[in-house]
């Protein structure tokens, strides 16, 4: 009975978040994000029972069916909603709270080959928009929003909005965050390239002059 209550809870989240959902029958059969979550719960339980190969095989089968890759060791809370979902990747040591929403192309990944905790912790009521990359053993605070296409490499406080590459906080607790930019210290790739070309030209002139003297 508990299983069916959790499944209904997951479907209720779809109706809450997606206005295109029309019936429980449609949601049950056609929402790949929800299917990926259900299969992950089975794989996660198998992983806790130390049936590692079976758990990984099931997670790969889920990836084949849904286009969503969730490592069976990842810990995911209740009412997790993946909208569309193609290309979503959730790493081994990820911890995701309740009422979290993520969209297609999101990666919750690591930054290298380090051992131990190496993937993000996402607290409750976080929204991560399409294509965002949240990388490393960082924490995304409660009620925060990660903008589409952002690359987040540092901890994010609660009630914040993050955008950009690398991600930066532009709003917190409903107020805009104004960053001081030292424009004179910012890199200028065009000027750097021109300096490099000028250096190469000068070196060629010196080389030609040496050959002319001979």
124 CB-near residues (< 8 Å, 6+ apart): 77, 97, 98, 99, 100, 142, 143
Catalytic residue among 35, 71, 113, 184: 113
Is residue 40 annotated as a catalytic residue, yes or no?
no
Distance CA 166, CA 129 (A): 15
Give the catalytic positions in this structure: 113
């Amino acid at each position: 009975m508990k299983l069916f209550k959790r499944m209904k809870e997951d479907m209720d989240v779809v109706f809450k978040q997606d206005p295109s959902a029309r019936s429980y029958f449609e949601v049950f059969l056609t929402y790949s994000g929800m299917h990926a979550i259900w299969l992950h719960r089975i794989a996660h339980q198998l992983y806790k029972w130390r049936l590692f190969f079976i758990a990984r095989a099931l997670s790969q089968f889920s990836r084949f069916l849904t286009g969503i890759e969730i490592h069976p060791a990842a810990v995911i809370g209740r009412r997790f909603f993946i909208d569309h979902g193609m290309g979503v990747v959730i790493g081994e040591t990820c911890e995701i709270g309740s009422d979290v929403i993520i969209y297609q192309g999101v990666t919750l990944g690591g930054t290298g080959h380090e051992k131990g905790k190496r993937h993000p912790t996402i607290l409750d009521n976080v929204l991560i928009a399409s294509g965002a990359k949240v990388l490393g053993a960082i924490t995304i605070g409660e009620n925060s929003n990660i903008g589409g296409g952002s690359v987040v490499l540092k901890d994010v406080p609660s009630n914040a909005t993050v955008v950009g590459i690398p991600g930066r906080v532009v709003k917190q607790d409903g107020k805009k965050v104004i960053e001081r930019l030292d424009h004179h210290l910012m890199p200028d790739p065009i000027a750097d390239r021109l300096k490099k070309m000028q250096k190469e030209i000068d070196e060629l002139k010196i080389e030609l002059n040496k050959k002319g003297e001979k």
